[in-house]
Copies of this chain bind each other. A is one copy, B any other.
Amino acid sequence: MATKYERIADALREEIRAGQLKPGTRLPAETALAEQYDTSVPTIRQATGVLVAEGLIEKQHGRGTFVRKAPTRVVRDNARHQWEKDRARASEAERLTTGATERDTGLTINDLVFEASYEQVPATAELAGMFGVPEGATLLQRTYRTRYREERTPLNRSQSYLVLDMIASNPDLLREDQEPWPGGTQNQLWTVGIELDRVVETFQARPPTPEEVEELGLPAGVSVIILRKVGIDTTDRVVEVADVVLPGDRTELTFTTKLTRW
């Protein structure tokens, strides 16, 4: 015999699954639900709290409790690291299996706004260790935020680090006033004689910190994806490290691994 609030949560969850409560619908008020299920308001709040944590409903202070819509997802693909010509090789099989979300959302890069800021910072012990430079060495830190046109909360926040000494031969890379990294990081690094060989991406999912909730405008119950991207050049040096914070409910990542046999 489950507890009272669990039974209520189950009942509501079932109504949502069955489609009786459609996305966007407002649930009855807490007092109404309390009467309907013959219990008190705190017990109702406990039940709805479960569904919030599951990401099924969303509470809005003063407005009501609503069934959440499936959020718009943004697809990231590791093919973005490749040159354009290579991307064109994407075949029908890929489109069948991964293109669906992109088609559904109908979003293109033009619907997004990018913001960037540059700063010179000393290397932390962790970053210094990865780059193989002394702790405190000067790094160029670029902070990116991506948002939908006409939305305030960004879709992601990314901080990328380069060792200043490695890129000093091209002062344009340090100019704040120009479009950040036209042609992409790979091309930019090429202009200072660095040839990127491969990118290693590591990531995990965890609940957001309060700061991340604030910055990304996350509803309760969603997690963030933490992605660390490490760029390695043809001489096996770590030349770029980037930490990206992505909202878990709005992000879908795709990676293609080509298999080799020699």
Q: Are B258 and A202 closer than 8 Å at their CB atoms?
A: no
Q: Does A249 contact B (CB under 8 A)?
A: yes
Q: Are B257 and A206 closer than 8 Å at their CB atoms?
A: no
Q: Are B73 and A204 closer than 8 Å at their CB atoms?
A: yes
Scan residues 211-260 of chain A and give those whose CB is less than 8 A from a CB of chain B: 220-225, 228, 230, 232, 236-238, 241, 248-249, 251-260
Q: Does A112 contact B (CB under 8 A)?
A: no
Total residues of chain A contacting the partner, CB 8 A: 63
Secondary structure type dominating chain A contacts: mixed
Scan residues 73-123 of chain A and give those whose CB is less than 8 A from a CB of chain B: 73, 78, 81-83, 85-86, 91-94, 96-98
Scan residues 165-186 of chain A and give those whose CB is less than 8 A from a CB of chain B: 186
Which residues of B have CB within 8 Å of A198? 256-259
Q: Does A64 contact B (CB under 8 A)?
A: no
Q: Are B223 and A207 closer than 8 Å at their CB atoms?
A: yes
Q: Provide the bound-state CA to CA distance between A94 and B222, in Å.
A: 31
Q: Does A35 contact B (CB under 8 A)?
A: no
Q: Provide the bound-state CA to CA distance between A251 and B206, in Å.
A: 10
* A200, A208, A261 interface centre (most CB from chain B within 10 Å): A200
Q: Provide the bound-state CA to CA distance between A201 and B225, in Å.
A: 16
Q: Are A206 and B249 closer than 8 Å at their CB atoms?
A: yes
Q: Closest approach, in angstroms, between the C-beta of A245 and any C-beta of chain B?
A: 12
Q: Does A21 contact B (CB under 8 A)?
A: no
Provide 9 A-B residue pairs closer than 8 Å at the C-beta atoms, listed in order of the A residue: A78-B255, A82-B257, A93-B200, A96-B129, A97-B241, A201-B255, A205-B249, A206-B222, A255-B257
**A residues with CB within 8 A of B:** 53-55, 73, 78, 81-83, 85-86, 91-94, 96-98, 129-130, 132, 186, 196-210, 220-225, 228, 230, 232, 236-238, 241, 248-249, 251-262
